[in-house]
Amino acid sequence: MTESKTRDRAADKAEFERRTGLDHDELEARIRQMKWKDVVKLLKEAVVKEPPREMPQAVLDWFDLNRKTIDEAVLEKAKGVVTRLEQYAATTKIDLGEAAERAPIGVWWIGISHYLRDGKRWWLLRAFRDDGADAQAGSTKDDLYRLRKIVDYAGGNAKKLLIDAGDTLIWTWRV
């Protein structure tokens, strides 16, 4: 794990403990003993207690671009999407996991959140390896098989990976 990710994780732990009054490591150990289906169910139940967040249009366009739902005729728009996303990223921290509930399942950390698009709720699932390795290249076939089972159980379609950002894999789907 890189030094910056180690620092980020330490900051996340400290923030969690300050906010909840619970010991992060003790809670993580208890979660790791749970069955993975129970952890996914728990994450989704925690997420639906909060209202879905509004996702910036630049991020929604980025999702469309990665989902390849943009028409060939509108491909020129893609250049504008990338430009707008770069401009947005330059002025705003894009944190897709900001409102996510996260928990460890095997070698993965799974983050689940939801957002609104055209008035409808969409789910967003992020997965990254506990050890900070590349999500696909650093994983065994069994690791990836388990991740596909997690995504499918959460309600997504594991075969429709939206974004492979190296250390993070992202799926979205409409409820």
Where helices occur in the chain by DSSP H, the ranges are 3-20, 24-32, 36-48, 57-67, 75-91, 141-154
pLDDT reading at 158 higher than 70: yes
pLDDT reading at 87 higher than 70: no
Question: What local confidence, expressed as pLDDT, does residue 78 receive?
Answer: 59
Give the least confident one: 30-39, 75-84, 155-164.
75-84
Mean pLDDT over 53-72 rounds to 72
| pLDDT, averaged across the chain | 78
Share of the chain above pLDDT 90, in %: 17
Q: Phi then psi for 103, rounded to 5 degrees?
A: -155, 155
Rounded alpha-carbon distances, angstroms, from residue 169 to 9, 51, 81, 106: 18, 24, 21, 16
Mean pLDDT over 48-53 rounds to 86
Res. 152 pLDDT band, cuts 50 70 90: very high
Pairing verdict, β 120-129 and 168-174:
antiparallel
Mean pLDDT over 144-161 rounds to 91
Collect all residues with Cβ–Cβ distance below 8 Å to 163 and sequence separation of at least 6: 63, 66, 169, 170
Res. 156 pLDDT band, cuts 50 70 90: very high
Question: What local confidence, expressed as pLDDT, does residue 153 receive?
Answer: 95
Question: What local confidence, expressed as pLDDT, does residue 21 receive?
Answer: 76
Taking the C-alpha atoms of residue 170 and residue 51, their distance in angstroms, rounded to an integer, is 21
pLDDT reading at 4 higher than 50: no
The one-letter code for the residue type at 145 is: Y
